[in-house]
Amino acid sequence: MKTKGTGVTGHVTGTSISLIEKAMSPHDSGSSKPNPASPASAVEIGLTAAILAVRDSEPMVLVVRGAAALAHSDALPFGPFSPLNHRTLDIGLRAGVAAQTGLELGYVEQLYTFGDRGRHAQPGDTGPHVVSIGYLALRQCCEEPGERNQWRSWYDYFPWEDRRDGPAEVLDHDIIPRLNAWARAPVDPHGPIRPIGRAERVRMCFGTDGGDSPTGSTSGSTCGSTWDEEKVLERYELMYEAGLAAEAQRDGRLSLDAGRMPVGAAMQYDHRRILATAIGRIRGKIKYRPVIFELLPDEFTLYELQRTVEAILGPHLHKQNFRRLVESGGLVEPTGVVKAATGGRPAKMYRFRRDVLLERPSPGVRVKPGRS
Amino acid sequence: MKTKGTGVTGHVTGTSISLIEKAMSPHDSGSSKPNPASPASAVEIGLTAAILAVRDSEPMVLVVRGAAALAHSDALPFGPFSPLNHRTLDIGLRAGVAAQTGLELGYVEQLYTFGDRGRHAQPGDTGPHVVSIGYLALRQCCEEPGERNQWRSWYDYFPWEDRRDGPAEVLDHDIIPRLNAWARAPVDPHGPIRPIGRAERVRMCFGTDGGDSPTGSTSGSTCGSTWDEEKVLERYELMYEAGLAAEAQRDGRLSLDAGRMPVGAAMQYDHRRILATAIGRIRGKIKYRPVIFELLPDEFTLYELQRTVEAILGPHLHKQNFRRLVESGGLVEPTGVVKAATGGRPAKMYRFRRDVLLERPSPGVRVKPGRS
DNA sequence: GCAATGAATGCTCAGCTTGAGCATAACCAA
DNA sequence: TTGGTTATGCTCAAGCTGAGCATTCATTGC
């Protein structure tokens, strides 16, 4: 009744409150700590960074290639948080990434803290419970990282998110049918309460208008016009639940779809979930904060700016209107230089007006989807 | 150079990378855990809920009144996260709140994870490092909570955020002058690198156009028209740093302003910081998600809806345009009932169309400030 | 009972923004 | 030189927004 369908957290009822109940009252003892004697048990905090960049209009993420015996999939740079060594989470993250990849991060933003039991697992896992804090980091260029690190396209991990040439084929041919089959399957009555039906969730996440469901009225079979490019995490979570993500099988989830091929490259731990969060976040944020310039070189043409935005958001933008918005928005200023060798008329170079960060609202690149 | 002024995390350089460097590489051993033998040391995770409601057009938060000897200030409901008892953070939070207050939460949303050393302190503190995860919860009504729990107005803790009758007096009379004095004071050269000047931060957070600074050109002394109601956390953090928040003195921060009276009621631990995050979040979110209805009774008049929005956002809205937006937005539907005793013509009652949550974009209450 | 009051609600209108298309400019390659 | 390609300028209609005027309808004071 008070449940809300959107958002990451759902509505869960009936949690058993056990012996720790008393310990949870913070004022019981004279101690000023919330719970010195609590059974908080072994908790480890993992800091994980989704480091994003755009190279040649391709959105990239820095990954640590799977090397160990158990690790055939990639990971994001990460490390445990050690409060003895680092005063803040932010500092700990930067130090961990620097140690692991040699990169000094610039723009960093916390994304979300994941603590689900089982989602951080590896096969045969036992050990302390890991709560992982995901971060988004942006870089202007992708210099080659050393050793086991590598830049890979986002869309290797989320092929269904790539809509630069229209909806990805894998969506219609593979994902949507399998999700619809999952939505029609009987729900485990012992599972958590799902206030919103599976079919509804599929429709909301993927913009299908009923799909091949028998109750579908307008028999449009393919993805409609209601794809929300920011719902990256919601879509991934749905695929995880439905067993289309390899991580679901690794985590020991039974799935009706267990025998079929997973979609997209998997990652270790909960890193694909964190990457999905990062992509969703940046897709939303460039619309209202000027973060896109963290991904661009210091000087760029308006079309390069547009291409970068499109690499992140997906659909193509109306060129003339895009430059009108950007220029009138006061985010950029011409440098006076022109860049030849664009294949046509030379383009004026622009730079980001850093001082807009000191202005009040500090807007983003207002973008509206167009056609061309 | 790559620094960004906005956002919570700043740009910190020169962090020393010590002996844990090697341990941070996750693929060293055959173990699948990130770091079984790491010096991750004692970390405890605290779950803290800012439970918000609106009663009689007054925005309220549920607090645990200070009772213990050391605790003269209020706290938010909170408890440690115990992974042995709770499968997810969300479940742990709900259980902790239920144990402490008796409330079953409905809408819950994770806010941010704070891990700064020292910010969670109480006087004479020693103990494990606490990383606290803040949550936002919304409730439709404020039934009286038992015992030590109490609903209090947000603005008891953040009087400067109350702009329902124009900018708060305490801003002009107290806060802005003291912040400007702090901005002019020499900066500790041993402190962290501040890529953006104090005066700029004051101006950006509080919308002053120079204030009483000697470099101010347009000598407008009071808060200008550029108050961003979502920057609640930024403003509080600035006041904390400047020593206007009592917590800063409790945490052992030296401050030029130490002798003066703090502004607003303090809270224990980092709870005022979490509450600031919650207020900023909901102020932003009602604009693009229909969360406002989590705070309203099932049936309401359009003016009650407007009053609730205004209680959260502050400035008054143009009545006619507000109802035009709400009605045309399709978020509500009339129930057919009219409510008399409004002091004038009876008002039609409306209810939230819950099925808009199943529609694609699920918009918020689009609001633009008006005058009346 | 009557009039003033205070809300609720309906309607209009000018100005701005947005979506989209046409037209032109400037360089490259054949 | 002729296309081809990209950059860039300009126009226009439709819709949205901010703001004000006007009307309806209970309550309250006389």
Reduce the secondary structure of A41-107 to three states and give it as a string.
Answer: CCEEEEEEEEEEEEECCEEEEEEECCCCCCCCCEECCEEECCCCCCCCHHHHHHHHHHHHHCCCCCE
Helix (H) or strand (E) holding A313: helix A302-313
The separation between CA B128 and the C-alpha centre of its own chain, rounded to angstroms, equals 25
Separation of first and last alpha carbons in chain A: 44
CA angle in degrees (0–180, nearest 5) for A200-A204-A205: 120
The answer to whether the CB atoms of B7 and A107 lie below 8 A apart is yes
| pLDDT band with cut points at 50, 70 and 90 for residue A362 | low
Chain C bases near protein Cβ (<7 Å): 5-12, 18-22, 25-28
Mutate to test the interface with B, among A33, A97, A126, A287 (most CBs of B within 10 A): A33
How much is the average pLDDT of A111-126? Answer: 76
Distances (CA, A) of A178 to A50, A162, A182, A257, B224: 29, 19, 6, 8, 56
Q: Which tokens is B27 given?
A: 């693929």
Q: Which tokens is A227 given?
A: 């794809």
Q: Is the CB of B301 under 7 A from strand C?
A: yes
Distance A130 CA to C14 C1' (A): 60
Task: Work out the mean pLDDT of chain B and round it to a whole number.
Answer: 77
Contacts of A251 in chain B (CB under 8 A): none
CA angle in degrees (0–180, nearest 5) for A288-A289-A293: 130
Dihedral pair phi/psi, residue A51, rounded to 5°: -95, 115
Nearest-angstrom CA–CA distance, B252 and B258: 11
Distance B346 CA to D25 C1' (A): 7
Q: Is the CB of A319 under 7 A from strand C?
A: no
Quick check: B195 pLDDT over 50? yes
Nearest-angstrom CA–CA distance, B248 and B344: 49
C1' nearest to CA of A306: which nucleotide? D7
Dihedral pair phi/psi, residue B240, rounded to 5°: -60, -50
Mutate to test the interface with B, among A1, A74, A88, A132 (most CBs of B within 10 A): A88
By mean pLDDT, which of A109-113, A120-124, B92-96, B253-257 is the weakest?
A120-124
Distance B339 CA to C11 C1' (A): 24
| pLDDT band with cut points at 50, 70 and 90 for residue B187 | low
Count CB-CB contacts under 10 A for residue B51: 25
Q: Is the CB of B57 under 7 A from strand C?
A: no
Coil, strand or helix at B97: helix
Distance B325 CA to D20 C1' (A): 17
Q: DSSP assignment of A112-176, as one string? A: EEE--TTTT--TT--SSEEEEEEEEEE-S--PPPPTTEEEEEHHHH-GGG--BTBS-HHIIIIIH
Distance A319 CA to C29 C1' (A): 25
pLDDT at B111: 98
| pLDDT band with cut points at 50, 70 and 90 for residue A16 | very low
Q: Select the residue of A40, A44, A75 nearest B26 (Cβ to Cβ).
A: A75
Dihedral pair phi/psi, residue A58, rounded to 5°: -110, 125
The answer to whether the CB atoms of A115 and B89 lie below 8 A apart is yes
Q: Is the CB of B345 under 7 A from strand D?
A: yes
Q: Which residue is nearest to nucleotide C25 (CA to C1')?
A: A345
**CB contact set of A166 (below 8 Å; sequence gap of 6+):** none
Nearest-angstrom CA–CA distance, B79 and A186: 37
- Choose between B319 and B141: higher pLDDT: B319
The answer to whether the CB atoms of A124 and B90 lie below 8 A apart is no
Q: Select the residue of A41, A46, A68 nearest B30 (Cβ to Cβ).
A: A68
Q: Which tokens is A89 given?
A: 């989470």
Q: Which residue is nearest to nucleotide D4 (CA to C1')?
A: A344
pLDDT at B231: 93
Distance B366 CA to D20 C1' (A): 21
Distances (CA, A) of A307 to A7, A19, A55, A316: 30, 57, 11, 9
pLDDT at B16: 27
Task: Give the single-character DSSP code of B223.
Answer: B
Q: Give the dihedral sign, CA A85/A89/A95/A100.
A: positive
Considering only alpha carbons, which residue of chain B is nearest residue A48? B34
Task: Work out the mean pLDDT of chain A and round it to a whole number.
Answer: 78
**CB contact set of A241 (below 8 Å; sequence gap of 6+):** A182, A248, A253
Count CB-CB contacts under 10 A for residue A368: 11
Nearest-angstrom CA–CA distance, B312 and B307: 9
**CB contact set of B153 (below 8 Å; sequence gap of 6+):** B58, B59, B60, B61
How much is the average pLDDT of A159-176? Answer: 88
Dihedral pair phi/psi, residue A319, rounded to 5°: -60, -50
How much is the average pLDDT of B176-180? Answer: 90
pLDDT at A225: 52
Q: Is the CB of A225 under 7 A from strand C?
A: no
Chain D bases near protein Cβ (<7 Å): 4-11, 17-21, 24-27
Contacts of B287 in chain A (CB under 8 A): none
8 A C-beta contact, residue B332 and residue B297: no
Q: Is the CB of B303 under 7 A from strand C?
A: yes
How much is the average pLDDT of A105-131? Answer: 81
Which range of A279-293, B191-205, B253-267 scores highest in mean pLDDT? It is: A279-293
Considering only alpha carbons, which residue of chain B is nearest residue A81? B40
pLDDT at B237: 95
Is beta strand B299-301 parallel, antiparallel or unpaired with respect to B347-352? antiparallel
The answer to whether the CB atoms of A5 and B358 lie below 8 A apart is yes
Q: Is the CB of A338 under 7 A from strand D?
A: yes
B66: left (phi over 0), alpha (psi -120 to 50) or beta: beta
Nearest-angstrom CA–CA distance, B327 and B332: 7
Facing residues of B150 across strands?
B63
Q: Is the CB of A347 under 7 A from strand D?
A: yes
Q: Select the residue of A35, A45, A117 nearest B80 (Cβ to Cβ).
A: A35
Nearest-angstrom CA–CA distance, B39 and B332: 54
How much is the average pLDDT of A155-165? Answer: 91
Q: Give the dihedral sign, CA A34/A39/A40/A43.
A: positive
Count CB-CB contacts under 10 A for residue B213: 15
Nearest one of B100, B87, B122, B123 to B49, comparing CA atoms: B100
Radius of gyration of chain A measured on its C-alpha atoms: 23
User: How many pairs of residues across A and B have Cβ atoms under 8 Å apart?
Assistant: 300
Distances (CA, A) of B27 to A79, B19, B31: 11, 17, 8
The answer to whether the CB atoms of B41 and A4 lie below 8 A apart is no
Block residue for tokens 């158990």:
A70
Q: Which tokens is B224 given?
A: 């200008």
Q: Is the CB of B330 under 7 A from strand D?
A: no
The answer to whether the CB atoms of A15 and B196 lie below 8 A apart is no
Distance B296 CA to C3 C1' (A): 37
